[in-house]
Amino acid sequence: MPGKVVLCTGANQGLGFAILQVAGLRHPTNTYILCSRDLNAGQQAVQKLKDLSVIAQIDLVQLDVTNDQQISAAVEHVTETYGKLDVLIKNAGIIRLPSNDDISAARAAYNELFNVNITSVALLTTAFTPLLYKSPDPKVINISSGLGSIQNAPTKKKVRVPPYSTSKTAVNGLTVHMQVAENDRVDG
């Protein structure tokens, strides 16, 4: 029985890389699509996974989650190569600390942060939904952060990064609303 097709954004380093490493070791019959903005960094990550004894098939796709043409190309690649997508892991994210001294620079930092951390999460889901519906058991995973918790924000002493934290709060809200919409679709 062939394995699942799993796509992870921002997978050339950090949490995305670790997700593919652990999943690839535990479920070597799956195919993992490692998405990276930078092809060289992605190629190095694929080689590092092989060096770490990951024997699962790793497919590299260049994907800047803010680039609509690259999103379309990634969807086309998955469609032509696999015909379905079983698991979509949206891990790509950034953190920016905008200057309080320059309003224009702060606006640009907030816009970039929200474009990567929330808008792209929504658009990737929309773009890959037809392929997910071709899977018998599709999964969508949005990577958030404890810093996005509204409940913990006023009570826990931790690093305060309001721009990043609010983008992750938005991811949490988007995740809930997308799940409710999917439940409504399935339940008719």
Distance CA 6, CA 14 (A): 17
Annotation says 110 is catalytic:
no
Tell me which of 4, 82, 90, 168 is the catalytic residue: 168
Amino acid present at 89? I
Half-sphere exposure of 11 (CA within 13 A, CB side): 28
Of 37, 13, 23, residue with least CA distance to 141:
23
Of 180, 163, 183, 177, residue with least CA distance to 122:
177
Annotation says 84 is catalytic:
no
DSSP label at residue 1: -
Helix (H, G, I), strand (E, B) or coil at 174: helix
Tell me which of 4, 32, 90, 164 is the catalytic residue: 164
Distance CA 49, CA 46 (A): 5
One-character DSSP codes across 98-143: --SS-HHHHHHHHHHHHIIIIIHHHHHHHHHHHHHTTSSS-EEEE-
CB atoms within 10 A of CB 58: 19
Which residues are tagged catalytic? 164, 168
